[in-house]
Amino acid sequence: MAKRIDIKSLSLQELYGEMEERGEKSFRAKQMYEWMHVKLARSFDEMTNLSKALRESCKEWYTYTSLRAVEVLESETDGTKKFLFELSDGNLVESVWMKYKHGNSVCISSQVGCKMGCGFCASTLGGFERNLRPSEMLDQVYAITLLTGERVSNVVVMGIGEPLDNYENLLTFIKLLTDENGLNISQRNVTVSTCGIVPNIIKLAQEKLQITLAISLHATTDTLRQSLMPIAKRYSIEELLEACQFYFDKTGRRITLEYGMMDGINDSDRDMERLVRIGRQLNCHVNLIPINPVKEREFRGSKADRVKAFKNLLEKNRINVTIRREMGRDINGACGQLRRGAEGRR
């Protein structure tokens, strides 16, 4: 039997092609697309304006991605929810739902595990399993919309995995998520966070998208960055910043620099001055993140007064800066720890 096609990863155009090839009426494509991407149907059986016969055929032709929530944790302090989803092959990924004044934000995973090996991150501890398909990224947003009963306005790709290491699927996902025939989330409300895979930043800059690019910088010298993040051995900070400048020039979108603050590691006055220098050179927004402790690692977040000092100096230099508000502290632990805990119990 031919490999079944993952129908939720197809564009509307591709779906038209599919229906034509199968000898079905072309308006069926539009109907099915709407069931999947607007009404958020969980299976072909819900598509009640298709004939029973067509629904049965679809089950033979296609796979239908529907993630199953196996664990949901809700913060008692701010309503943040963490979801552990099971994929059709039994793999697990996690996603986070955050409620803000300006709307609801979902943080999704892009891979099962991660191969980037950053020293402070929990997602990388169990190694890399596989890439997520576009439908599996998309369905984290869809399943959460259904489970919370609230519209999602912002999506950040900052969960488990390195999105630019799953480039083609990421791109397809963004196009589906922001498609006017689907959920129609504004590209300006989509953020992709990367550890800094330079050639793919250059590529992404040329895709004519309006998404925000966030860079996990975390260090201001190559030596320190290399000791924290293996990817820094391949691309220097200078090359990374040049790629960021190129992204800004091409898209007009201001870059976000994420700076995870670790006690005694990257929070000295000299680090602070170097960060200011970088912030002045690039049109960017700096997000200071007191790092979350990870059980298996010895890093600790910087003290509040260090984070404040960084913020003050950046502001004094007219650099746009925010301190990442900690959401769902009580259910949190860092990214990847929910999945890790569940894998451990299995």
The residue among 198, 249, 182 whose CA lies nearest residue 190 is 182
Count H helices and E strands in the chain, helices first.
11, 14
Residue 205 Cβ, how far from ligand SAH at the closest point, in Å?
A: 17
Residue 47 Cβ, how far from ligand SAH at the closest point, in Å?
A: 34
Of 70-78, 136-144, 189-197, 277-285, which part binds ligand SAH (CB under 6 A)? 189-197
238: CB partners within 8 A, 6+ apart: none
Choose which of 33, 83, 97, 120 interacts with ligand SAH (CB under 6 A).
120
Beta-strand relationship, 154-157 and 284-290:
unpaired
Choose which of 98, 155, 158, 176 interacts with ligand SAH (CB under 6 A).
158
Cα–Cα dist 296/314, whole Å: 32
Residues 20-59 that bind ligand SAH (CB under 6 A): none
Whether residue 128 contacts residue 111, with contact meaning beta carbons closer than 8 Å, is answered with yes
The residue among 66, 56, 13, 59 whose CA lies nearest residue 36 is 66
Residues 203-242 that bind ligand SAH (CB under 6 A): 216
Choose which of 121, 141, 237, 255 interacts with ligand SAH (CB under 6 A).
121
- Enter the tokens of residue 256: 């976000």
Residue number, 200 or 292, with CB nearest to ligand SAH: 292
Of 137-145, 204-212, 245-253, 285-293, which part binds ligand SAH (CB under 6 A)? 285-293
328: CB partners within 8 A, 6+ apart: 73, 75, 77, 78, 80, 81, 82, 96, 98
Of 87-95, 114-122, 274-282, 309-317, which part binds ligand SAH (CB under 6 A)? 114-122
In the numeric block, the tokens 């016969």 are attached to 53
Residues 239-258 that bind ligand SAH (CB under 6 A): 258
Q: Is residue 197 involved in binding ligand SAH (CB under 6 A)? A: no
Q: Is residue 331 involved in binding ligand SAH (CB under 6 A)? A: no
Residue 11 Cβ, how far from ligand SAH at the closest point, in Å?
A: 25
Of 174-182, 193-201, 276-284, 309-317, which part binds ligand SAH (CB under 6 A)? 193-201
Cα–Cα dist 75/328, whole Å: 5
Residue number, 255 or 291, with CB nearest to ligand SAH: 291
**Element at 255 (helix H, strand E):** strand 255-261
Whether residue 145 contacts residue 139, with contact meaning beta carbons closer than 8 Å, is answered with no
The residue among 275, 233, 236, 239 whose CA lies nearest residue 257 is 275
Residue 273 Cβ, how far from ligand SAH at the closest point, in Å?
A: 22
Beta-strand relationship, 190-194 and 212-216:
parallel
Choose which of 193, 200, 212, 302 interacts with ligand SAH (CB under 6 A).
193
Of 9-17, 59-67, 187-195, 268-276, which part binds ligand SAH (CB under 6 A)? 187-195
Residues taking part in catalysis: 94, 335
101 DSSP 8-state letter: T
Residue 116 Cβ, how far from ligand SAH at the closest point, in Å?
A: 6
Beta-strand relationship, 62-63 and 5-6:
parallel
Residues 292-321 that bind ligand SAH (CB under 6 A): 292, 294
Choose which of 335, 338, 339, 340 interacts with ligand SAH (CB under 6 A).
335
Residues 255-274 that bind ligand SAH (CB under 6 A): 258, 260
105: CB partners within 8 A, 6+ apart: 97, 98, 99, 152, 153, 154, 155, 156
* Number of residues counted as binding ligand SAH (CB under 6 A): 17
Instruction: Give the footprint of ligand SAH on this chain (CB under 6 A).
Output: 116, 120-121, 158, 162, 193-195, 216, 258, 260, 289, 291-292, 294, 334-335
